[in-house]
Structure 1
């Protein structure tokens, strides 16, 4: 089951990332790396942050264990949905009313003229929060039934809508292009929601929610109704309290990388023009192996670990984590070595088109290499954090992430001026090591040593990386020549 779920998640994420790279290529070609791209990326940072917090972190990891335990699943899910939708709606209206404040919060280093240009873009993109929560909520329900393909593939629709928006606006000025790209984000969110409807219907979740709606309506009409209804409400209230206790710490505990990226955007606004874009382009490629391997693996693993721990089957959960650990360790190590050795060629091939210059390539390549240093600790930390969330240790996970985040901010303040955008990327990687070490400390060093005590696996990693290094060393000149040939061919078309 876990292999099938992983392949489903990884293939969907792979397709989504490919579409995302095409989107980024179009963005780099039409907007380049300057003030207009900085405006969009700063505006898109907040909804993108919440997408990762909700979709890959706090909500799913807190909602799913409580949904599994709940005896009134329909009512519990419905009330949770209503509470979150209402809160995000009010938050979005607040952003509309105080757009200048929130824009300054996102990019404090922007001058007043740039802030005025960015305000409406921030408002448009912020509405994606409501859409992305609905998507995450529906995907969490489907994961309970081991239906992973919708969650894996739905982001493709977002990228397609953004690509269409960019291509449609290619003959317009840069600011109009930013507007159309922002509306493309909203269209993508609506499309993502519609994708969930058929599997929800097939797996009878609409009937489950209908039952919850009827029970909630009966209580709403008659708050002091029958004892049976009162018992149901009492059960749901208990489930909601348990969920709330886990969710709020988990918002920080599962979102270290995303919050660090958000802070990096704020700090980068004080650096040279284009720094926000450098971080964005490099981080997008860094997120590719993290998503295809670490996020796909942890998404597939989480329901299994949560259900096993719920049924007092800790040995089965540890065994699944052990297999996932070694798979990720090998896969991510290969990606780190390959990414660093071919950093210039990767960035040039993906982004060096149109307004994206060779000088931009050199800067982004160094930022990308700095991010790749932290790929292994960030990826492996996701596996062990599942153990904490399944044991409802969100509070401890939050403390770990808070320490990691503070360390990352400290590293950023030290490194940002001498090294620029690359310094911010190095700081992010260092915070990943802090996160991993502290997570292992809570998980248990004894249990961790039991997982890594595999001589054959260590020999396999060393052999694979040695072979990869020699192959890439031999092929690097040919890869460079191939990339240059592709550029010449495209320019001559």
Structure 2
């Protein structure tokens, strides 16, 4: 079942990423790497950051173990959903009202004129967050039932919506195109909600709303785990956000170089590491719940060995052919050969950290399944601190490439500390036994 689930997730992610690269190809060709692409990427960065930390990472890592142990699953899931969707809607309204301040906070290096251009886009894009939380909530229920296909393939819908927005608006002014892209984000979110509603209904999981008395103890346990998981799952995403923030002080186009390079880096990470962790986590959580530690460890051994081989191969290929990859994907239209050179160097800096980030994701599942979210959070924050230190050291001599390499260093720190908590002796025995 593990291999089948990994294959399902990988297939869906691959399909989505192919469409994602088509989207990026069109974006690079139509918008290029300039102030207009920068402001859209900044506007989409904030909801994407919250989505990956809260919705996809932290929520699933806290919800599935709590849901597995809950005695009243419908009551528990209902109150959690209603509380969090209410919070996210209020947060979205707050971002709308104070979009200029929010934009200034996430792109400090932008001047007043650029902030005025970006602020409306930030407000529009942020409404993707409550939509994708609804998707993630339903996806967690489906994952518990070992159904992964809907979530894996539905991510393609966002890319389809954005491709459509680009094709419709390609002959308009560049700033108008950014509006079409922003509304395309919302259309993609709505489509993802729709297909998950269909899947949830098919699997008889629609009874998620109840107003009966619920178990406060279960709710408190979830939020305790959720707070820890929120911090623990944030390292890679906060690193990318930090890159954007610092790159706003560099020459125009730096944010876009980091974005395009990170998009390539994220392909093998998502295709192999994320696909594996999504399939593995419910199985490990259920094994831990049933006090079958040996089964959980064997699942992790099998997954980590496969993942090491896949990510190691991807790293070598990516570094050797970095220029060719960027040239094939992006160099056309407004994206020049100089942009290719700058992006490929940054890609190499990111790829060095591919294996540690991927393996850290697998071994952190052990902590989450054992509800040690706050320990994982401490590890994550230490890794992030190293990233900040090296970003500040490397940004002046190496500019955007230095920011990418600082993120890679934090990946090695993250893996070291995660394995230390897992147990070096246990890791040695697990891998070489």
TM-score of the superposed pair, with normalisation by structure 2 = 0.99
Alignment pair present for 1:265 and 2:255: no
Matches within 5 A, 1:3-402: 3-206=3-206, 208-209=207-208, 212-213=209-210, 216=211, 219=212, 233=214, 236-402=215-381
Residues 150 and 55 from structure 1, CA distance in 2 versus in 1: closer, same or farther, beyond 3 angstroms?
farther
Aligned to 1:227: none
SS of aligned partner of 1:284? helix
Which of residues 411, 423, 446 in structure 1 aligns to 2:402?
423
1:471-482 alignment runs, 5 A limit: none
User: Aligned partners of 1:316, 1:413: CA distance in 2, in Å?
Assistant: 43
The CA deviation at 1:128 is 0.6
Q: Distance in 2 between matches of 1:44 and 1:410?
A: 26
Which deviations, in whole Å up to 9, do the C-alpha atoms of 1:200-222 show, x marking residues without a partner?
1121111x32xx51xx1xx4xxx
Q: Distance in 1 between matches of 2:254 and 2:91?
A: 29
Shift of 1:25: 0.4
Contact residue 162 and residue 185 of structure 1 kept, 8 A = yes
> Partners of 2:56 and 2:97 in 1: how far apart?
29
| Deviation string, structure 1 residues 315-354 (Cα, Å, up to 9, x no partner) | 0000010010110000000000000000000000000010
Structure 2 regions of 5+ residues with no counterpart?
A: none
Equivalent in the alignment of 1:483: none
For the residues of structure 2 that align with 1:5 and 1:56, how far apart are their CA atoms? 18
Q: Shift in Å at residue 54 of structure 1?
A: 3.5
Task: Work out the number of aligned pairs and report it.
Answer: 433
- TM-score, normalised relative to structure 1: 0.87
CA RMSD after TM alignment: 0.9
Q: How far, CA to CA, are the matches of 1:378 and 1:421 in structure 2?
A: 20
> How far did 1:415 drift?
0.4
CA–CA distance in 1 between the matches of 2:340 and 2:410?
25
- 1:54–1:136 CA contact under 8 A, matched in 2: no
SS at match of 1:196: helix
- Which protein has the larger Cα radius of gyration, Structure 1 or Structure 2? 1
- Structure 1 position 55, deviation (Å): 4.6
For the residues of structure 2 that align with 1:14 and 1:451, how far apart are their CA atoms? Answer: 30
How far the C-alpha of 1:57 sits from its partner, in A, is 1.1
How much does 1:56 deviate?
Answer: 3.7
Q: What is the distance in 1 between the residues matched to 2:146 and 2:98?
A: 41
Offset, 1:111:
0.4
Q: Is the 8 A contact 1:56 1:295 kept in 2?
A: no
SS in 2 for 1:392: coil
**C-alpha distance in structure 2 between counterparts of 1:403 and 1:205, whole Å:** 39
Looking at structure 1, the residues matched to 430 and 412 of structure 2 have their Cα atoms a distance apart, in angstroms, of 18
SS in 1 for 2:155: helix
Shift of 1:199: 1.7
Shift of 1:420: 0.8
CA displacement 1:427-470 (0-9 Å, x = unmatched): 0000000000000010001111113326xxxxxxxxxxxxxxxx
SS at match of 2:17: helix
What is the CA distance between 1:48 and its match in structure 2? 1.0
